[in-house]
Each structure stands twice: as C-alpha cells, then as structure tokens.
Amino acid sequence: MGITSDMVGSLCGEGCHFVWRSTVVMENSHAFGWSRAGPHRGCLGETTCFFKVGCFSNDPPFNNTEGALPLDPSFIQTTFHLYTRHNRDISQNLAISNITSITRSHFNAHLPIKIIIHGFVQNGRVEWIRNMARQILHKEDTNVIAVDWGKGAGFPYLQAAANTRVVGAEIAAFISFLHTTSATSHNQYHLIGHSLGAHVAGTTGQRVTGLERITGLDPAEPNFKGASIEARLDPTDAVFVDVIHTDGTEFNEISGYGMLDPLGHADFYPNGGVNQPGCPSDDWFGLIRSAYDNGVEATEDTLSCSHSRSIYLFIESINSVCQFTAFRCDRESFQNGECVHCSDEKCPSMGYHLDKSSRGTFYLNTSPSKPFCGYTYYVTVHFGHPMSPTRGTLNIRLLGLSGMSSYFQMESGNTRFQRNTTSTTKFVSRLYLGRLLQVQMHYNSASGWFSWGSRATISIGFVAVTSSHLESTLHSCGYNQVVGKSDVGFSAGSYTSLADCPSRVAQTYAV
Ligand SMILES: [Ca+2]
C-alpha cells in the first residue's frame, strides 16, 4: 500500500499546516528509505536547531522542500576525506574540532583547496570522486577534500534536498575551522558539487563570503527550480560561479534531473544541455529504486547517463590537451548550427581551466563517448540535378592538412534527399584536421520494400563545411557530380556559394 500525503498529513498538530509530500509514489516505503532515514515531517513555521550549525526554519525562502527540514548532523555524519600528492589513493580523515587530524595529515595550508561534493543517492567514496581527485592532483599540487554526506543523500528525495542546508553549513563550519587552525584564506577554496551537491556548495557560499569559485555540475532541478537564491546555487555564493548543464529536460521519472536555468556567472550547455549524445533514455528512477530494493549501495551506475555526463566532461577537462571551446549563444541559434565562431571575443574553455572573467551562457558540441572533447564541423550539401528523390545514407569524411576524420553519416530520413534542396549534418572530430583540403563522400541507398524505387546515386551541386576554427572551412562546387557507392572527392575551391559556381562540366575525381 502506498503512503500518501493525506495519510501523513494527519500527523501535524493543530494549527500546523502540513505541506510535505513525496515526489515519487511510495509503493514500498522501506525500499525508498522511509524507515531508514526517518524523514522529518515538516510543517510550515517549524524550526529545528543543531549544535554548532545553528537553526533551520522551513519558512520562506526555505519553503522549496515543501516543509521538509534538515536531519540532525549526528544522523548524517558528514565526513571530510583528504587526498594530496602524498596520498593520492588512500584518503585521510579530517575532523572538525580535532586539530591533530589536520596537523598529522598531509594538509598544506599554502596550497589551493578543492572540495568535491556528491549529490542524491551517492556517497563520498564513489569512483568518480576518487578519479576527479587523482586527475586534479596529476595536474597541480593541491589539497583535494571529498565530502561524504551519503547518509543524508538517500531517499526520500525531499529529505535529501532539505539536508543540503545542514551539510552546506557543516562545510562552512569546516572551512572556518581550517581558517582558525591553519590560517587558510577564502580565496584558496574551489567547491565542486554535482546535482544536490551543487546546492550544498551554494549554502556553504552563503555562509562563507569570498569563496574563490564554485563549480556546479548539473545542479539538481526538483524543488530548486525557481527557488530563492538563499536556497539554491546562485552567482552571489562565490567570487566566481560556473555551471555545466547536461540533463535539463523537465523533471520526470525517466530523466531531466538537472536544471536548465542559468545559475552562475558562466553557464555551459554541452550539446544544448538537455540530453547528451550516446545516452539512452534510461529509466533512472527505476534503476535506483531497483538498487535500493536489492540493498545495493549507491555507485556510479545509479546516476543517469545525461546527469552524470557533467562530471565526466569536467574530469576530462582537467588534463585534456583538447579544449572544450564554447560559444556565446542561445539554444535556438545553437540548434540551427549558428554560433560556431569566436569573433571579437575570446571563446571560453568549459571546465577546470575556465577563465574566471567569463560571463554569460555558452554552448558547445561534444563526442558521444570518451574522449568527449573534439572539433565541431557542420557539413552542408546542396543536391544537384538531375536527381530522383532517394532515401539512404551519405557517408562523409574530411581530409585536412593535419589528418583525416573517420566517416560520419548524413541520413535522408523519411523526407528523402531531393534535387535543389539542402541538408546539414554535424560531426565532432576527435582529431584536429587543420586546413581542410577535401570532402569525400559515398552514398548507400536504403534497401527494403519501403524504399522501393529509391535511386542508388545522388547529385552534388555544392558542399560547404564550417567549423569553430576559421582555417577549417571549405567550399566546393559540385558541378552535379554523381555520387554512388565509391568515394568521390570535392576539393576546396574559391567559390563560396552555389550561385558563384561557373556552369561547366564536373571536374571532381574518384578517390
Ligand atoms: Ca545561494
């Protein structure tokens, strides 16, 4: 039998309006951690107070968790795990109010301090956190501190969302402790939070002014979208706040766990920020519910693909030679293949090495699998004549001074390729191709009864390739060259549009 808000609503006393309700239908309360976590049944106007971190009310602006109040820190048991170049694999525990835990550790107060904060149904020991720590330490000599608030990050979601406030306060207390014992300054701190962890970092920044940087990795949307800045990550939480959005569809039980709204000084939207290439539309809530039902501890597998992509893009950016170059744009223009050039301003590199003077919203493309960083090319084909409508796949590769790309595909879809029409496809090359010399392509017509009558060749009127680096553009007159199953090359020419092409016989050649 499911637990409903009406049933638990009666638990509120007279004059206290119950507002807590679950985002998910709890058919099995134990499976969702109801009995494990002992969620606080909040009523508006309530306040709860804890030793050292203070009091928390559920009045506005903190009514975004529908009345749920944070759990006692003694239940959450937040811990801090230090990694340094002296201990890259095995962490050392740092404890608030335990000075020897600091002095006997490898903590170096003269180095930058990176604090990594996990999100919902995660803990501080998951592989991505250890990997991020290793990558940071490979790049530079720092203190990397992983926060583990796993006991407060489980189901039900609303309780975990409310707990972000007390965990953020504990991290603020931890920073004050380090400030007192080791004379660290706030400009040494860079907080990196994923999902609910991004809002934890925001709460810390609310309490500690002057933090150098907060990076939000796909900050959680449910109960934080439209919330007051006191209750969520926002630009006032640090000197510089940057955000990577990777899973911004409207929240439902399938996907869309991240927030699409800009939250920082600089907001990045890889592949549009809604869904990530290479990600199946996995039933994420079903996945983690199954894990909890079976008593499996949260792992990276209990993160949805698009939601976790923000983590992997950020990790890759730490030591990647390839820059995640991003372009100032809006969503519609980006989807139309615009915003691919850095004109009068420098295009920022998303991720770890981001220039802190970056301001605005930026878009970029990535590969569907590791390594994600690459160079984006938009290939536009104008079909010539004579040519019959045809359904199939145009296989394209690019040849540049520095190398040749793999083949990528332009699909006709149900509309078919037709003469005197234009089609554009996007390709992210892991290889830098340099100045483009030639586009090579061959055509495979679709087979099967549905494509009866589909012709085996196409005709090319004009080919244009644009990219984020100006030297890698190409224009080529096709002169109605016929393309079939063998590669045909179209070399870079001086005519920049079909209208400019002279009327003469095709002079392309087979390769
Ligand atoms: Ca805030």
User: For the chain, what are the domain ranges?
Assistant: 34-364, 376-510
**Biggest alpha carbon distance in the chain?**
89
10-residue stretch averages of pLDDT, the chain, 511 residues long: 34 42 33 37 80 92 92 96 98 95 97 97 94 98 98 92 97 96 96 98 97 97 92 98 89 66 97 88 58 55 82 98 92 83 80 96 94 93 92 96 95 90 92 94 81 76 86 89 95 93 61 49
Fold of 34-364: Rossmann fold (3.40.50)
Check 195, 412, 429, 468 and give the catalytic one: 195
User: Ligand 1 centre from 358 Cα, in Å?
Assistant: 19
User: Ligand 1 centre from 205 Cα, in Å?
Assistant: 7
Check 190, 199, 265, 307 and give the catalytic one: 307
User: Ligand 1 centre from 171 Cα, in Å?
Assistant: 14
Residue 191: DSSP 8-state: E
User: Ligand 1 centre from 293 Cα, in Å?
Assistant: 34
Query: How far apart are alpha carbons 383 and 462 in whole angstroms?
Result: 7
pLDDT at 438: 97
pLDDT at 179: 95
User: Ligand 1 centre from 207 Cα, in Å?
Assistant: 9
Check 148, 218, 237, 242 and give the catalytic one: 218
Residue burial 411-422, b: 16+ Cβ < 10 Å; e: rest: ebeeebbebeee
Asked if 386 and 419 count as a contact pair (C-beta separation under 8 A), the reply is: yes
Verify whether residue 195 is a known catalytic residue. Answer: yes
User: Ligand 1 centre from 245 Cα, in Å?
Assistant: 17
User: Ligand 1 centre from 264 Cα, in Å?
Assistant: 10
User: Ligand 1 centre from 313 Cα, in Å?
Assistant: 24
pLDDT at 459: 96
pLDDT at 413: 86
98 Cβ partners below 8 Å, 6+ apart?
none
pLDDT at 15: 41
Q: Which residues surround ligand 1, an ion (CB under 5 A)?
A: 202, 206, 229, 234, 237
CATH number of 376-510: 2.60.60.20
Verify whether residue 307 is a known catalytic residue. Answer: yes
Residue burial 484-506, b: 16+ Cβ < 10 Å; e: rest: eeebbbbbbeeeeebeebeeeeb
